[in-house]
Amino acid sequence: MQEKAENGGMDVDGAADEEIPTYTSIEAPPSVLPQKHWCDITGLEAPYTDPTTGLRYHDKNIYALIKGMSASVAKDYLSGTFISLLAIPCMLIDYITARGVHSIVK
């Protein structure tokens, strides 16, 4: 039978209490699940990476959009200087229309 000492929160045998990781503690082991990657264009899950530009993409429609970019545009896109508030909605509308789900948007 182990008893707690009154002066330090240690067991009588001298072993310190081990802190159990909880949802709110930051001391937790790394995840055993593989890290997810996200599409640089749409923000959806991206299983593919374009080898020439380094951009991650979701599917073949986004790949077609990336293939139309030059290396300098892709570099600017990754650095964040290419993105404007009007570019993203236009690209997403083109993507949704190409997927054939434009009736959902209406």
Q: What is the DSSP letter of 32?
A: S
Which amino acid does the sequence have at 89?
P
Report the distance separating Cα 93 and Cα 7, nearest Å: 66
**pLDDT band per the 50, 70, 90 thresholds, residue 57:** very high
Mean pLDDT on 37-53: 90
Alpha-helical segments (H) within 1-106: 60-67, 71-79, 87-99, 102-105
Q: Output 94 or 76, whichever has higher pLDDT.
A: 76
Q: Measured at the alpha carbon of residue 95, what is the angle toward residues 89 and 98, in degrees to the nearest 5?
A: 140
- Encode pLDDT of 7-43 as tens digits: 555 556 666 667 776 777 777 778 899 999 999 888 8
- Encode pLDDT of 59-80 as tens digits: 999 899 888 888 888 888 777 7
